[in-house]
Amino acid sequence: MTSRTRWISISVVLVVAVIVALIWNWSLIKPQYKTSKPSTVERIMKQPIVALKTANLPRTPPAPRPPQCKAQPRLLEAHGVWVVNWSTNNGPLPVADLVDFAWLTWTGENQIKEQFNPRLKTALARQADEYPCQWRLVTLSDGHEEATRIAMAKLLMSGAARNEHVTRIAEFMSHQPQAHGLTLDYEFALPTTSQEISRLYSRYLTAEQRQAPFDQQVDYITQGYTDLVAKLTQAMHMQDRILRVAALVREQDQVSTTYVPPFIMDYTGLRQHANQVILMAYNHHWQTSDPGAISPTTWVASIWEHVATDDESKLALAIPSYGYDWKVDAAGKRTGGSAKIITGSAQPNWTKLETIDGEHRFSYTDEAGLKHEVWLPAPDEKQQLAESVTSGAPTMIWRVEY
């Protein structure tokens, strides 16, 4: 072999080596795009689809609106109130674009029960007679009893159970001619902790699924909740009614093992299906916490920023009209059980300490010599603050006893 031939051979080898090295290095640093094939975790933690059979669902629409209601506010611009415990001694509510009757409860027996008098149909009819152009809706909430928690686990883990539940609700709503739609408020029977998920939900998972990370198990439950909303929306739209969801709130997405319910809310998925999602921005301080603001503006702003992202068109904000009365010690810490719910105005023996975030803070000493601290929202101020935080999104006031 001549020197020239040898040099050419060496050059070819070097070139090939460089090409191989480049290919190898590129395989290490190139972007790793996700293929269409799901990972093992994604595959096993996907709820099976059970299609809703719509052929037998009722299609009865609500009574037609009177001709003078053409100028009625659009749903996504309508401010409203939830009303509970409507006394027959009081008339219909003229104070809002939308009135939502929190009348119904779902129990573990898969029954829908009315909580108050008069009967729902009667209350809706009276409201329609006096204020025919208001939006009239009905809220269905869940109970917190063990039987309802067991039923909720089955509901969120079984597509067939959800289909049966949706059919039952659709049948009930078809007999409410003055209701323009339904608000779903399922929160009390949702799993609270990782222990409760293990106790009530794991039975619906395979052995492989039970080994998945905790946040993946919560996501599996979330899929069931979102599917329930999607199917309820479909059933309500078949009756020319709307579906709203009252959603628990959170400020971040790292799943908590000690308080799970807000993390079952897939805000993007809920907005995709429901006509409106109402963020329940209250109870920042609650009956068994130490005293404090119930719906502080900075907290509400943080929630709104987290949820709204680039689309707030279907969002509404729920604000409180109630307050809490805590028994406290000398340091202002809660003592002696749960705070009392206050739905009226301030009492003459209360001393006003400050007004902050649209809420008034009071103190007083009762007849037994026990010190109390009261936080009571000012609804008008609270609504103005809420509108400033949300750039004018509709608000829902929880709650009015009438």
Residues 56 and 342: their CA atoms lie apart, in Å, by 46
Alpha-helical (H) ranges within 80-158 are 120-130, 146-157
Beta bridge partners of 298: none
Crossing angle of helices 297-308 and 379-390, rounded to 10°: 40
Q: Looking at the domain 40-280, which fold is it?
A: TIM Barrel (3.20.20)
- The residues spanned by each domain of the chain are 40-280
Q: What would the two tokens of residue 159 be?
A: 């597509």
Q: Are the C-beta atoms of 65 and 133 separated by less than 8 Å?
A: yes
Q: Are the C-beta atoms of 85 and 116 separated by less than 8 Å?
A: yes
Q: What is the pLDDT of residues 185-225, one digit of tens each?
A: 999 999 999 999 999 999 999 999 999 999 999 999 999 99
Is the dihedral angle over the CA atoms 154, 156, 175, 317 positive or is it negative? positive
Question: Is pLDDT above 90 for 1?
Answer: no
Q: Are the C-beta atoms of 286 and 364 separated by less than 8 Å?
A: no
Q: What would the two tokens of residue 305 be?
A: 């920023």
Residues 77 and 313: their CA atoms lie apart, in Å, by 10
Nearest Cα neighbor of 307 from 251, 230, 245 is 251
Is the dihedral angle over the CA atoms 290, 295, 298, 301 positive or is it negative? positive
Residues 316 and 394: their CA atoms lie apart, in Å, by 5
* DSSP state letter for 193: S
Report the pLDDT value the prediction gives residue 26, as an integer from 0 to 100. 39
Report the pLDDT value the prediction gives residue 9, as an integer from 0 to 100. 55
Three-class DSSP labels, 167-202:
HHHHHHHCCCCCCCEEEEECCCCCCCCHHHHHHHHH
Report the pLDDT value the prediction gives residue 332, as an integer from 0 to 100. 96
Q: Across all residues in the chain, what is the average pLDDT?
A: 87
Residues 104 and 82: their CA atoms lie apart, in Å, by 12
Whose structure tokens read 């006003």?
Answer: 352
Q: What is the pLDDT of residues 342-356, one digit of tens each?
A: 988 899 999 999 998
Three-class DSSP labels, 262-284:
HHHCCHHHHHHHCCEEEEECCCC
Residues 65 and 134: their CA atoms lie apart, in Å, by 10
Q: What is the pTM of this model?
A: 0.86
Q: What would the two tokens of residue 79 be?
A: 């401010």
Q: What is the pLDDT of residues 19-29, one digit of tens each?
A: 544 444 433 33
Lowest mean pLDDT among 95-99, 167-171, 194-198, 333-337: 95-99
Whose structure tokens read 């279907």?
Answer: 314
The length of the chain, given as a count of residues: 402
Q: Which residue has the higher pLDDT, 37 or 67?
A: 67
- Kindly indicate the confidence band of residue 240, based on its pLDDT and cuts at 50, 70 and 90: very high
